[in-house]
Amino acid sequence: MNIRLLSDKEKPPMDLLLLADPSPKMVEEYLKEGESYIAESDNQLIGIYVLLPTRPETVEIVNVAVAEKYQSRGIGKLLVKDAIEKAKTKGFKTIEVGTGNSSIGQLALYQKSGFRITGVDKDFFIRNYEEEIYENGIQCQDMLRLAQEL
């Protein structure tokens, strides 16, 4: 597997990005300011993440997605690890991520990767998304904020 920066000339894979964030509007917004890194294997696009600088010395992972065919193979973990390494290399001191209260697997992944819960943005998904989101039989309402010092 190779992970590389998506060039300005390449079109971001919206179908893949929308697996992790169902709002095209939100995705378009952070793609403008963020850097997209894609994972490829045997000339197949298998994953993506987006790093978005948010404050001096702080960057946020705003999207991590793995193609459905390649899920449950540890690729998400490798993408998060790569994002952490890229953030360190770029001189950031803190890396953050937000995930839904219903995103049980993602919450476990981030904590296993060294992130700690720093807060809750109550009703984030109700305020910012037109349609209700359900995962694991739970309505996604609140964004759990996590961070890691680098």
One-letter amino acid at 31 equals L
- 141 vs 133: CA distance, rounded Å: 8
pLDDT tens digits, residue range 132-145?
999 999 999 999 99
Residue 71, helix vs strand vs coil: coil
Give the mean model confidence (pLDDT) for residues 92-112. Answer: 96
Q: What is the pLDDT of residue 108?
A: 95
**Which is nearest to 134 in space by CA: 87, 100, 106, 91?**
100
Task: Give the whole-angstrom CA distance, residue 109 versus residue 150.
Answer: 17
pLDDT number for residue 50: 98
This prediction has a pTM of 0.93
* Type of residue numbered 46: I
Tokens of residue 7, six digits: 């060039």
